[in-house]
Structure 1
Amino acid sequence: MERKFNMQGEWINSSRLIVMLQMFLLTFTISETMNRCINEDGLTTIFALEGEYARLRCRVCNGSTPLVMSDFQTHGFTITWFKDTYEGGLVELLGKTGRITFEGSLLEFWPATVNDSGRYNCSVFNGTHNIMDQKKLSVTPINEGCYNEEIVFSWSGIIGSSTELYCPKMDEYRNNKEDLKWYKDCQKFVHKGSSLVFKKLNKENAGYYTCKLSFEHSGVQYNITRTLNLILKEPPFKPELIYPLREHVEVVLGESRTINCTVIAGNRKKSQMQLSWRFKDSHLTNCNQEQSVCQDSKRAITKENRTYVVSPLVFTQIKEEHLNQYFNCVFVTSKQKANGYIILQEKGKSNVHGIVELLISIIVVLIIVAIICVHFNVQIVLCYRDLTGKDETLGDSKEYDAYVLLLKSDETLHSAQEEQQFALELLPAILEEQFGYRLCIFERDVPPGGASADNILFYINNCRRLIIILSKEYVDDEYSSTYELMTGLHQVLVERKIKPILIEFKPIKSTKSLSESLQLVLRSKRTVKWKGSKSVFKHSYFWKKVRYLMPAKGGQLVNHSQGNY
């Protein structure tokens, strides 16, 4: 039992020794860390505006956090704040209520005044070691607006680029950054959020931007503001060839002339660019007394705060062989290449070659435009109608947009099922339901007993177009004719009250058997040919041509949900 007791006592003593050793190592480590880091940290100045909330945090090391300071307190370290007096002494800040409060490592001012400016020391003490951290608080009054020039942060940007402004010195309030309000020149509210983004800067964006964080404490609202001065600079421009581009120069034979190839240098040096003249695909040599044309050494010229590099092209004597020839100036850097040219023309003589080239170019352009207009005439007209909302149906007092006439006879009636399905189903499904037209179809809209001559004439006169559906069966039928057709064609050809649209539903090899009236309609180029499955969809050329021949109607209904047409 005695041995067992001794072993237990030895175990307890060993445990205490280990705990004491851990406490010693922790104290030593903290002390050494504080002593080492305090020398690296130096004096930190906190700026604040008079009347706003301000805070100082005791940081023994740049990497310290409130968690570390709490750890100090857990192991017997106390934190005390002092303020330096003018006499060089220290005054302890006591109390945890009132305008100046402290809680652990944080010293707060509710609000800060100019008299609060000065040096503050926080003491971290555990009875043996005492480490001091020093902060400086600078409280400045607001002269005008909402900021003081002495505590404005600068931010630079380049015109035309993007940038993002962050509210400076707001790491202490990272959980409240989304509540920041941004103002320009103290008055104009521009944004709410942790940062202010400019996708493309322009000159008007320059100025003072103030970010403000507001919160409530003991029933009183306090503000924290930071102000940035956004300074914008002109973008660095690339070197650019400014002369010659495509120049025609009038000269007199036998005279001397110097023409400068000029480049605006930007931020590049003269040695970083190549500038030379070429004639007939060869570099011109440097000038000497025996040459009639040569290039002189390039040189830099400063004008209006900009640097220009010029390469002179020297004609000691202009000869006829120099006329109407290309002299090219070639400009090369590591990232770009450009060239321009001059053409010498004898003074007083017109440039026939240039005029011919210009006329040919104009003629070619006109031909291309004419081909495009002819080939895409239907699409161009429909596009114009859609853009302008043109409506030809206003004020004409007509009820229908088109009268649909299916040519058939008793002999061809049994073989015209496809034509009837087209006229009675597909045609109204596209023109009425998809494009908002209103059709008059005899078989559908004329009531029983209304097929008299007067009624047919009434319905045709009440329409803006006459759609005639023509098929091979009708052409082959020698006895086919209808009163509707005769009446409609009379209105088309004689009285010209209605315009025709002839739909060739099935190919017709010969039109000689057609009546003269139908042949006249065919020659009017108001014919549309049905091409079976290729013409079913509403965006096919067939329906575009039909719409082109139909009257323009503003606000047409286009039903995109009908996927089958």
Structure 2
Amino acid sequence: MQTGFVLFYFLFPTISDQCCGKTQRRTKGDKNAAAKPMSADQHYHYKVVEGEVFVMPCNSLHVASPIKWFKATKGKECGKEFVAEMEDSGTYSSLTGSYLTLQVINKTSLRCFQPNESSVTLLVDAGGEIRCPGRDCYNNTAVVWYKKNKTVSEQSRISCENKGLLHLCTVYESDTGVYYCDRQITEQGVMWTFRRAVNVTVIPHSSSSPEFKYPSVNMTEKVELGQPHTLECEVIFDVEEKISQKVQWFMNFGGDIQNMTLLHMEQAQVKPMFPKVEVTQKSIIKEVMPQHLKHTYTCFASNAVGNNSVTIKLQKKMQVKWPSLVGYPFACFLLVAGLGIIVHVKWLELQLIFRSHFQFGKLDGEEKQFDIFVSYVWTVPSVEEANGLSPSSKPYTETGGCKSNMKMQSSEGPIEKLLPQVLENQWGYRVCLLERDILPGGAYTNDVVLTINSSRMLICVLSAEYFANSNAVFVLESGVKALLQMSAPKMLLIWTGGTSSSFIQPEPPLPKLVQRALKVLPSLQTSTDTSPTAIRSFWTSLQKAMPAHGARLASQEN
């Protein structure tokens, strides 16, 4: 029986008239202001201050499925907290048939408004009071306190509500949150509930003295003479209700801690890390002088519990200087050695770049049997139709100008067919094709090498089929080798649509010489774009890459 009585008292402490050991007398106003359950088919009126937290009330008759309040197309769930704004004003309705009119009041329209009344800090395991904002401005001090949508008097805790004050006999960490005090006021015959919010923060008692995060005991900091230096102290404190934390820098003359001077300090930086707080205090020495090395520096930290300190010294930083007679020659050696390694690794590419862009200019006037040697491998029909380059429409007139009306149909043939026709029939070059101009029966390798040396330019039309053909790859490799010799022909690569050197990985792999040459040799890219602009751009670039002499322009069109 005694055990049951104790449990009953523990679970329902608010039934008792005793609060914190004192007898509390409930007033008539308190009883009238007691919370009443919301029911259907009623109209409720609430006032709230702009910028304060508000929670839409819930209908106690529908606890199983909390109601939702609607205004136009927007809805707000009961029990969900939000910051009240002016646009939240209006009339809300619920599916239960209830109505709620919410009026958001501007702060400046209140008879008295104190921002500090909207928040309070309480100590854990101690008693604390929460004051209803505006308590001293209204005659009606009968209020009902809520946390969320539940009255504090209904919660299993010992507390008192008296004249706008909520007294918590014991403060717990779970008490952190928003509390609401409801006051009943009447305006023009309408009963309003004026709800104010108080943000409650519960902090522990300060139980330890300051702890240093930086610097450590007997630490030495490196400094440069003539340069500024920042003394920085980072201290960890317990959170306090009444802030007593203090961090200061002192300079001890000659290392004597009894003879010290307070240094000029910047504004302390506070970083909350609940339930701790980190305070950073800096002091700047504008110019480090030799006498600063003779003193010591103490960071002193204190709070309501105790104090602590740490002392450091400054030490001249030794600057490492290389003797000029050794350092400069060594640096030059490293530079030359680095350039030498780069040139050695990239020597082949550098040779190809030089000969491709400069060497052929000396050979333009040299007499050769052929102007252009064209190497290609026929592509499959689907790829052929994608090139869209026409031989029937002449890209250029005799004066070198672009045709204004150029119509090139994709059905007129692939680039492998169009290129020899344009070079030979329209631009007047002497073109060599292996299957047409080389007599059968000879040694293939000798014929290829002789033809390349007898031509002023080698054009290779590259495609997936080209790299899969060993004879075609041999022509390309022979051209690269010839380019590295003194009697170098000019080389040009034409990549067909959808093919580029970045993802060509044929089987078997290409020779190393060819792989490196593909990255640096002059090249053009055909496109699947059949627009006149794209076609004109390709043929314009191709004609600019042709040898300057030995070509006969096509006759002017009628």
TM-score by length of structure 2 reads 0.28
Q: Which has the higher contact order (CA 8 A, sep 6+)?
A: 2
The TM-score normalised by the length of structure 1 is 0.28
